Amino acid sequence: MIGGSATKTKVALIGAGGWGEQHARVMSNHEQVELCAIVGRNLERTQKRAAQYGAACYTDIGTMLDREQPDLVSLCLPNEDHYEATLKVIEAGYPLLVEKPLVFDLKQADTLINEAAKRHLFFAINLNHRYAKPMQMAKQAIENGRLGDLVFGTWRFGGEGGGVECHKHANLIETQCHGFDSLEYLMGRIDSVTAQMTDMTGKGYTTLSIGLHFGNGAVGNLFGTYDSSYAYADTQRLEVNGVKGRLIIEDTVRRFQFQEAGNETAEVWQAGYFNDRDREFHRTFDVHLDRIIGAFRSGQQPPVHAEAGLRALTLAHAAIQSYETGKRVKV
């Protein structure tokens, strides 16, 4: 059977850090997945995580692959350490799921995509904002024509982050990739960008504003920052406005609103008292992983292919070019 045995898909996890625990949780809870192994750099922490989830413990990727022969490999490593481990898994010929960002360098991204394509590998990326319930509701409203022709969209997202040890464009590449992906998911392809950025905090370009133009004629703005706080209400906000109505998403999973043009009454969704699943951000990964496993086991392409990670990185580098040259950059 494609994608594993008739009962379970054998998955190995590379990464024993904070978000790696979400990978372990989601994999171990999925009825069609066997979490066979966890690979980490810190032996003690990896042993503890592996024991918690009933998996084998390794500190070397090659050794794990040789011994476990997983059906699928999931990688969750520090943002700037993705390339070498991902390439090693690809060169070994294993289907894989990676975390965002794909990488920081466009040449490295091209190498990963091309090497995986040469081997016809299943190659997914966890751009999980797509799987928040408000995002799914927004997608459905747009596809059903409730907004009419789209005219503009705005994305704002930011909190703490961006230490001095980080890449100077960390906010843009590792966090706002969700903004690029979400706006294109809802509104279509961006065809040009114009950017302003500031490094006034001394931690790189931690706050930025990017003007967007879409292929369908709509315009937009992406605003991202590491100079704010995730404790603030409405720290993430997405608005899409069409000629017939507009939609708003607040804090990714907290609230969805649709309102027809000229109607003073809006339709609002927010999770009910017992609906913990839809109100919790981490659970967006549960939904996405379920779609990934379904596609993998049936021999289909990933629901979000790693090429979406390359696309977000391409847009980020176009924004950097725009800021550095002071010009609009076509993408």
- Per-residue pLDDT at 43 exceeds 70: yes
Question: For residue range 182-191, what is the model confidence (pLDDT) as tens digits?
Answer: 999 999 999 9
Distance CA 26, CA 99 (A): 14
3-state helix, strand, coil in the chain (%, to 5): 40, 25, 35
Per-domain residue ranges for the chain?
9-126+294-303, 129-280+313-330
For 139-175, the DSSP string reads HHHHHTTSS-SEEEEEEEEE-S---TTS-TTHIIIII
Residue 161's pLDDT band, with cuts at 50, 70 and 90, is confident
Question: Positive or negative CA dihedral for 24, 180, 161, 224?
Answer: negative
Distance CA 250, CA 253 (A): 7
Buried b (16+ CB within 10 A) or exposed e, 96-125: bbbbbbbbbeeebbebbbeebeeeebbbbb
* Integer-rounded Cα radius of gyration of the chain: 20
CATH code linked to domain 9-126+294-303: 3.40.50.720
Check residue 165 and give its pLDDT. 61
Residue 2's pLDDT band, with cuts at 50, 70 and 90, is very low
**Which residue shows structure tokens 């904002």?**
129
Question: Positive or negative CA dihedral for 101, 103, 106, 110?
Answer: negative
CATH code linked to domain 129-280+313-330: 3.30.360.10
Question: For residue range 66-92, what is the model confidence (pLDDT) as tens digits?
Answer: 999 999 999 999 989 999 999 999 999
pTM of the model: 0.95
Distance CA 215, CA 226 (A): 29
* Whether the domain at 9-126+294-303 and the domain at 129-280+313-330 fall into the same CATH topology: no
Average pLDDT, stretch 224-230? Answer: 96
